[in-house]
Amino acid sequence: MDFPKIEFTPMTLEENIEIVKWAFFEESEDLSVHNYTIQYFPELGDINLNSKKEDVYEIIKDIVTKEYKKYKQKIVDESARYNELWNEYNDKYFYMLTNFLGVSFPKNIKKINAHVGLIPIFPRYLDSFSFSVSTNLEDWNLIKVAAHETLHFLWFEKWKIIHPETPRSHFDTPFNEWKYSEMVTDPILNNKPFVELFQFTERGYDSFYELYDEEELVMDKLRNIYSTNDSVEEKIEKGYQYINYYFNKINKRDNIKR
């Protein structure tokens, strides 16, 4: 069976700038994207947040352009290194993942574009089956990121079969379907057969590991659901029912407090 290949290619300067612009102003409670951006580009921490957005954009453009010119060859070299690293895993992983989820890649998807640049976060683009990563990832971390992001592509292909009524917007933050898709990578990739292929421990966003349902971690409950011998469809449904129940309960509680 033929599977699409991940191809790592250098991002353009303009693409780098646009991601950093978006990340600097992103305010999602689950992602801490703005903070990651400041950590990656410390000079951005000096910006007055009351400044006009157009002025901030110009500062971001200048800072990213300076760094991009300095590390342009590094981006090219890292793209080549990432391709060599991932090539060993591509077909093995996609064979396991398609079998686990019981779903195939769309027939028109022959290549998954992975853009490499100077970026603080790694966005994925479901509609184009592509994602972005930064330079300087250790070998294990590059494999982890590639596995995590491409899991999302097949996860939502499966999701559209089970829940065709779900609006496309719910596949992104802040909706429960998005939260569930980010949480479920842990119980999937940290279990067989994937632990026998990879040398990393999958972990989602830190904020999800701070959630408690009474005295039990929400992530532990989700892991328990995925450790059963149920079919993957049953696991997906039981996990979704639980995550919906939990977040709806939390939202109701927060609304009462207000």
Which phi and psi (to 5°) does residue 109 adopt?
-90, 100
Q: List the chain domain ranges.
A: 5-257
pLDDT tens digits for range 39-63: 989 999 898 888 899 999 999 999 9
What are the b/e assignments for 52-73, b being 16+ CB within 10 Å?
A: eeeebbebbbebbeebbeebee
pLDDT tens digits for range 120-173: 889 999 999 999 999 999 999 999 999 999 999 999 999 999 999 999 999 998
Q: What is the pLDDT of residue 258?
A: 47
195: Cα separation from own chain's centroid: 19
Calpha distance 244→200 (Å, rounded): 29
In this predicted structure, the answer to whether residue 251 has a pLDDT above a threshold of 80 is no
Share of the chain above pLDDT 90, in %: 80
The residues, ordered by sequence, that sit 6+ positions from 154 with a Cβ below 8 Å of its Cβ are: 97, 98, 101, 103, 105
pLDDT tens digits for range 53-92: 999 999 999 999 999 999 999 999 999 999 999 999 999 9
Q: How many CB atoms lie within 10 A of CB 131?
A: 22
In this predicted structure, the answer to whether residue 231 has a pLDDT above a threshold of 80 is yes
Pick the residue with more confidence: 99 or 34?
99
Would you say 117 and 65 are in contact if contact means Cβ atoms under 8 Å apart?
no
How far is it between the farthest Cα atoms of the chain? 56
Share of the chain above pLDDT 70, in %: 96
**Spatial CA neighbour of 115 closest among 96, 136, 130:** 130
Pick the residue with more confidence: 254 or 72?
72
pTM listed for this prediction: 0.91
